[in-house]
Structure 1
């Protein structure tokens, strides 16, 4: 499905450099486990995109894989150009929830193995983020997980043009969160982009992937270690 516009052509309307980056200790395995063990009370910033495709609603799940290197990284994929939805875009490993999947977590793990060969024996699931509804009618559950190094990726060439890693502190720093606004099919549409220079190649993170990362930033920023024991779990966000 072709996009009505090229997001790279839409000017930047603002950059959130006035917001603080997530503290480094929260991006470690210990910090992330502590946050998901007692999630803060917070609200997602981005929940639903304006619809731009007449499609049947589909449940989906993605894995947000945090690789435990000396500097924690985020594993992402570049989708192949011929796919019917979100072709060529930077994405998390993931896809539709199948009838045989026990839940969204099982779907995310299955999709990660099918798309890039990342197997469950390297994965420690921490929890989920609020659902995110795309303009193409996918109701996505992001599943956040720690990934132990030592895996060997085997990207599925039909779905994945490339798999790469971005430092987690890069996408958890709002100085890299660019805002865009455009009139699109008679509606005002707003989105984030987080372009990353991957050794001279731009990885253009935007749209749903950037929106879910923005929500992850809000969650990690809201956590207060001193009050962790008293904090209530986040409110559930119900699908439409």
Structure 2
């Protein structure tokens, strides 16, 4: 009997897992003790469409100062007005892609992820309840697109690549899809989901 993909994801979220970081594949990097990390939340938004479940991602504007043109989840840092990182993720998704919080059912969270930009990011996994037409936030989001959940749950679709960063070679995950080069923190978070789904 086939398991519904959303049920599969829900079961995966219940598995005990360790936090992740941008440094996972670089054990030689020693992180300073007492470093201060800012809380942030991103939304792993899943919609059920005719061809099967998909995950919404964004391509950041090439005009941005930080991470221009990169693929990312909707989300951002927790502001003073946010109750928690889940509230931050929902607010940012509303601002960045026009996803109303009332149209979202939160399924759970993945382990937190530490980034090289000194954030501790909580990936909030959610189901979009009803039909949704994304609206990209002008100036910040260049494009909103979807990737089949099935593609993101297969660990064989992930690869490890490297590039020079701050004078040393840094390894990181990628999970390419069509013209989209998904890498870094976004790919690492998706790999965490894929690993949990495989173990569930």
- TM-score by length of structure 2 reads 0.86
What pairs with 1:34-113 in structure 2 (closer than 5 Å)? Answer: 34-36=11-13, 39-44=14-19, 46-49=20-23, 57-70=37-50, 71-113=52-94
> Cα offset for 1:82?
1.7
In the alignment, structure 2 segments of 5+ residues that lack a partner are: 24-28
Over 3 Å counting, the alpha-carbon distance change for 1:179 and 1:48 in structure 2 is: closer
Aligned residues: 190
Q: CA RMSD in A?
A: 2.3
TM-score normalised by the chain length of structure 1: 0.72
Using CA pairs below 8 Å that are at least 6 residues apart, which structure has the higher relative contact order? 1
Maintained 8 Å contact 1:64/1:144: yes
- Residues in 2 aligned to 1:85 and 1:186: alpha-carbon distance in whole angstroms: 19
CA separation of 1:151 and 1:48: change in aligned 2, threshold 3 A:
same
Instruction: State the shift of 1:35 in Å.
Output: 4.1
Which consecutive segments of 4 or more residues in structure 1 shift more than 6 A? none
Deviation at 1:176, TM superposition (A): 1.3
Rg (Cα) greater in structure: 1
Contact between 1:42 and 1:222, CA under 8 Å: does it hold in 2?
no
1:16 alignment counterpart: none
- Of 174, 177, 181, 1:196 maps to 177
Residues 37-91 of structure 1 deviation map (CA, whole Å, 9 limit, x = unaligned): xx123335x424369xxx9742211000011224110100000012222111000
* Structure 1 unmatched ranges of 5 or more: 1-23, 224-240
